[in-house]
Amino acid sequence: MMNSQEQFIKTVNHQQPDKVVVDFGSTAVTGIHVLAVERLREYYGLEKKPVRVIEPFQMLGEIDEGLSEMIGIDVVPAWGKDSMFGFYNHAPFKLYKTSWGQEVLVPENFNTSIDQEGNTFIYPEGDINVMPSGRMPKSGYFFDAVIRQEPIDEEQLYPENNLEEFKLVNEANLAFWKESAMKARATGKAAIAGIGGTALGDIALIPGLQLKRPKGIRDVAEWYMSTVLRPDYVKTVFKKQIEIALENFSRLHKVIGDNIDAVFICGTDFGTQNSTFCSPEQFDEMWLPYYKKINDWIHLNTTWKTFKHSCGAVESFMDHFIKAGFDIINPVQINAAGMDPVHLKKKYSKDLVFWGGGIDTQKTLPYATPEKVREEALRLCEIFNRDGGFVFNAIHNIQANVPTENIVAMIDAVKEFNGE
């Protein structure tokens, strides 16, 4: 009987595995909200304890070993040292009561304030003496970026201002990554790491959540416009960013080696529900050369597979993702225009691993009956798992108030498909 990592290796090399490989919680785009995690733990009769917030921006919960075994997870994360808000994201922890009344575990520098309207604010590096960089609405379950864009003076707009967060990895971070990767490998499961520094224009990161006083182009709308109005500026940022990233990959590979199986490269979205943010031609001009440099280096120097996240109707970009050298596409938004699972599998499955697409998280998972959830999950497993190349996950993160019985129905459907 092959272990999880061996099943994963067959899967990502487009060989038929003995079972569908399952991921929940290994990345910031394949996780489960901390409230849903708590309810799942209660359903399975696991020890009642505060759930750790593993990713504070989206308030994702840690899938510990006990819950992982219940779900049947095959992929584990190798996490970095700091959160998206720039504070140390590991122990020691403190108890924190959320606006919806749940007690969770958060790092010491997870510092917040609440305004008169009941909105919660979080701070870069946990420094409450500067402007907050995240805002959770009173009725919300995760943070949105606070846009702290300074007035733009075209004469004083320098690409290096958008490079402040990209630095060469230091010895402390190297040591942390080494330990994290070795722990992940020791589980016998596949391991994926979001090493960072290669997210080309990801709008979740453009605002500079971890920076106390971000400079440059930090407004999301302004950044999108800049890809058309200031293309040379954007390309200069990408060029220097990739130079730093490739040096970091070289340093990190020396300490991580083959203790990870895949690396999360970039979460830049190119699709909307019905269309794309840019044309394939603009993608080829502005993004593809830099993506290709990253993927080429990784494939030449490591055994890692490369993971690209893009929501939306990106069928027209699939050939371009392949040309850029990506091995894996996520979240496979089958409910977006043109993203028919049968078509995707037939046309692109020899070149791309589909990581996600196992259940519709906009309609089916939150609103359908458990039986409908089961039927859809089984159908999509049948389509995507032929000849490998499929890691089961939902379409993006499972949100806070999704009915627990529906999440369980999805999990049980995968187990049923796997003959468990």
Q: How confident is the model at residue 28 (pLDDT cuts 50, 70, 90)?
A: very high
**The pLDDT of residue 207:** 98
Please report whether residue 143 resides in a domain.
no
Phi (first) and psi of residue 152, to 5 degrees: -90, 125
Q: Quote the tokens at residue 133.
A: 């960089």
Please report whether residue 54 resides in a domain.
no
Please report whether residue 358 resides in a domain.
yes
Number of structural domains the chain divides into: 1
The stretch 379-384 carries a mean pLDDT of 98
Residue 1 has pLDDT above 90, yes or no: no
The stretch 87-99 carries a mean pLDDT of 98
| Residue 164's CATH number | 3.20.20.210
pTM equals: 0.97
The stretch 318-340 carries a mean pLDDT of 98
pLDDT in tens, 186-203: 999 999 999 999 999 999
Please report whether residue 335 resides in a domain.
yes
Please report whether residue 134 resides in a domain.
no
Please report whether residue 130 resides in a domain.
no
Q: Which residues contact 229 (CB under 8 A, 6 or more apart)?
A: none
Q: Quote the tokens at residue 363.
A: 């309609």
Percent of the chain clearing pLDDT 70 (strictly above):
100
| Alpha helix (H) residue ranges in 161-309 | 171-185, 220-229, 231-256, 280-286, 288-301
Please report whether residue 125 resides in a domain.
no
Please report whether residue 242 resides in a domain.
yes
pLDDT in tens, 390-419: 999 999 999 999 999 999 999 999 999 999
Range of the domain at 292: 4-32+63-85+150-417
Phi (first) and psi of residue 22, to 5 degrees: -120, 135
